[in-house]
């Protein structure tokens, strides 16, 4: 049996960051993961280029029952600190819309940076290793793994959440939390496509592959980003963002012309006698205009249309209510909403208040970021704060 100052469960984004930080503080650190390779989610994220942070990170980009919880770690390790780290390693990256930073070439370049940091700091890895049980004995932690017993003074749970089970995501972090008497808030898929049934599913399927720039609102939270039509419903950044706030049975609302003063324009079209579909086609793919006008018939020219009808048209175009039948589930979700209750975790050290030497970081916590690099920034920031404190 071997003993470590710190065992980190999970060689994902937060686990690697925490391990390197703790090892640089002189701690002996072992990382255990059941996956054959570290950081599978980084590898496939951002279409293989990993949207690793955002230039403009604020607590408002996160969903957490305790809204103040994220503030400390995010301010102590801002995105500029991570950018400084990757620049030191010579990573080529690019800035995209809304301050999103991506690797210029491959997400695996970023994994290499994190692995190099771990190697320099002296972190040891046991990949392909199942965690069979965790026990608290004699003031430390004793783990039974598929490769034998290991012990540590401190245990960091960085095992992520339930999204993308095919990348070895599991609920082990929640089970460990419950074992030590911590509260786990209900979980659900987040940043996830929305599915539809019936005629809208058929219409969206017909439009599959097209995208449009719109504004989507769910539960009072609005996002002006693209949506994408799919065979089963809707996806794309605007929908993924809204999905974090959507509840089963509720509507999402879509403003199909968010950059236009629609009522004013329709009044002008009435005066000029110009064609409505022709105007819509300036903003929408033609196929969508056809499908929309089949679903919501409107006069082609507005010359003989009453003012009240014009107001109704303007309302329909900017307040399109849609009722998704469900989300596409954890298999398609980028993140998991809910998780370990942050009321029982220190926002400075990430140690739990109920169990000495037990820490939770990253997505296993009840912290979910918006789309745009915020989830990785949370992984880096919580990993560093915890790594410094263990
Ligand atoms: C398809 C996809 C794309 C994404 N794109 C982005 C993006 O571009 N930008 C962004 O900010 N966020 C993105 N995310 C979200 C981001 O990947 C996560 O929020 C982030 O990885 C969470 O870090 P973590 O360390 O908490 O967990 P993870 O990085 O998921 O790491 C958890 C680790 O724990 C290990 N583990 C799990 N269960 C066990 C077990 N039973 N025993 C041992 N080890 C275990 C896993 O193998 C894994 O290595 C994306 C997610 C997905 C699924």
pLDDT per position as a tens digit, 118-168 = 999 999 999 999 999 999 999 999 999 999 999 999 999 999 999 999 999
Torsion sign (Cα): 258, 260, 264, 265: negative
User: Encoding tokens for residue 390?
Assistant: 């263990």
User: Among the three residues 307, 327, 347, which one is the final residue of a domain in this structure?
Assistant: 327
The pLDDT, as a whole number, for residue 336 is: 98
Atom of ligand 1 nearest to the CA of 375: 11
Residues 165 and 289 in one domain: no
The pLDDT, as a whole number, for residue 383 is: 98
Residues 70 and 97 in one domain: yes
pLDDT tens digits, one per residue of 26-75: 999 999 999 999 999 999 999 999 999 999 999 999 999 999 999 999 99
Q: How far is CA 112 from CA 25, 109, 122, 196, 381, in A?
A: 21, 5, 15, 40, 19
The pLDDT, as a whole number, for residue 55 is: 98
Decide if 71 contacts 58 (C-beta within 8 A). Answer: no
- CA 39–ligand 1 middle distance (angstroms): 7
| Structural domains in the chain (count) | 2
The pLDDT, as a whole number, for residue 282 is: 96
User: Domain of 309: which CATH number?
Assistant: 2.40.30.10
- CA 218–ligand 1 middle distance (angstroms): 25
Residues 209 and 301 in one domain: yes
Question: Over 90: is that where the pLDDT of 373 sits?
Answer: yes
pLDDT-above-70 percentage for the chain = 100
User: Among the three residues 274, 300, 327, which one is the final residue of a domain in this structure?
Assistant: 327
Residues 221 and 252 in one domain: yes
Note the pTM of the prediction, 2 decimals: 0.97
pLDDT-above-90 percentage for the chain = 99
Residues 224 and 160 in one domain: no
Q: How far is CA 167 from CA 42, 115, 176, 205, 369, in A?
A: 11, 19, 20, 28, 20
Residues 41 and 88 in one domain: yes
Tally Cβ neighbours within 10 Å of residue 220: 6
Q: Exposed, middle or buried: residue 44 (CB in 10 Å: 0-12, 13-18, 19+)?
A: middle
Decide if 9 contacts 130 (C-beta within 8 A). Answer: no
Q: Which residues line ligand 1 (CB under 6 A)?
A: 9-15, 33-35, 40-41, 44-46, 50-51, 131, 158-160, 163-164, 168-170, 172, 334-335, 362-364, 373-376, 379
Question: Over 70: is that where the pLDDT of 1 sits?
Answer: no
Determine the structural domain holding residue 365 and report its residue range. Answer: 2-189+332-389
User: Among the three residues 295, 327, 359, which one is the final residue of a domain in this structure?
Assistant: 327
User: Domain of 70: which CATH number?
Assistant: 3.50.50.60
Spatial distance between the Cα atoms of 54 and 71, rounded to a whole number of angstroms: 16
Question: How would you classify the pairing of strands 29-32 and 184-190?
Answer: unpaired
pLDDT tens digits, one per residue of 205-245: 999 999 999 999 999 999 999 999 999 999 999 999 999 99
Going by C-beta distance under 8 Å and a sequence separation of 6 or more, which residues neighbour residue 150? 1, 2, 3, 4, 7, 30, 32, 126, 142, 143
Residues 39 and 155 in one domain: yes
Residues 9 and 109 in one domain: yes
Spatial distance between the Cα atoms of 17 and 363, rounded to a whole number of angstroms: 13
Residues 163 and 47 in one domain: yes
User: Encoding tokens for residue 278?
Assistant: 């022709």
Residues 16 and 160 in one domain: yes
Residues 56 and 158 in one domain: yes
Residues 23 and 77 in one domain: yes
């Amino acid at each position: 049996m071997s003993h470590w100052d710190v065992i980190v469960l999970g060689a994902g984004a937060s686990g690697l960051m925490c391990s390197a930080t703790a090892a640089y503080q002189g701690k002996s650190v072992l990382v255990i993961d059941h996956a054959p390779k570290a950081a599978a989610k980084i590898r496939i994220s951002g279409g293989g280029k990993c949207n690793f942070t955002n230039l403009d990170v604020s607590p408002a980009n996160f969903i957490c029952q305790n809204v103040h919880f994220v503030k400390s770690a995010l301010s102590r390790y801002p995105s500029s600190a991570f950018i400084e780290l990757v620049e030191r390693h010579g990573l080529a990256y690019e800035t995209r819309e809304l301050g999103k930073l991506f690797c210029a070439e491959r997400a695996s370049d970023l994994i290499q940076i994190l692995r190099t940091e771990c190697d320099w700091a002296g972190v040891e890895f046991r990949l392909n290793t199942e965690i069979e049980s965790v026990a608290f004995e004699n003031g430390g932690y004793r783990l039974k793994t598929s490769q034998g017993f290991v012990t540590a003074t401190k245990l960091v749970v960085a095992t992520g959440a339930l999204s993308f089970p095919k990348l070895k995501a599991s609920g082990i972090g929640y089970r460990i939390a419950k074992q030590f008497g911590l509260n786990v808030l209900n979980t659900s898929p987040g940043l996830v496509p929305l599915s539809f049934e019936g005629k809208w599913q058929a219409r969206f399927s017909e439009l599959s592959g097209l995208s449009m720039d719109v504004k989507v609102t769910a539960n009072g939270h609005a996002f002006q980003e693209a949506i994408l039509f799919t065979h089963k419903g809707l996806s794309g950044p605007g929908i993924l963002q809204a999905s974090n706030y959507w509840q089963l049975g509720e509507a999402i609302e879509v403003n199909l012309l968010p950059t236009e003063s629609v009522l004013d324009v329709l009044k002008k079209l009435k005066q000029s006698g110009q064609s409505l579909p022709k105007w819509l086609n300036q903003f929408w793919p033609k196929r969508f205009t056809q499908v929309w006008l089949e679903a919501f018939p409107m006069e082609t020219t507005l010359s003989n249309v009453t003012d009240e009808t014009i107001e109704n048209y303007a309302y329909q175009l900017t307040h399109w209510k849609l009722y998704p039948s469900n989300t596409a589930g954890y298999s398609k979700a980028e993140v998991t909403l809910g998780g370990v209750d942050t009321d029982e975790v220190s926002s400075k050290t990430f140690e739990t208040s109920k169990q000495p030497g037990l820490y939770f970081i990253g997505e296993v916590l009840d912290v979910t970021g918006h789309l745009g690099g915020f989830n990785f920034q949370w992984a880096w920031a919580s990993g560093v704060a915890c790594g410094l404190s263990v």
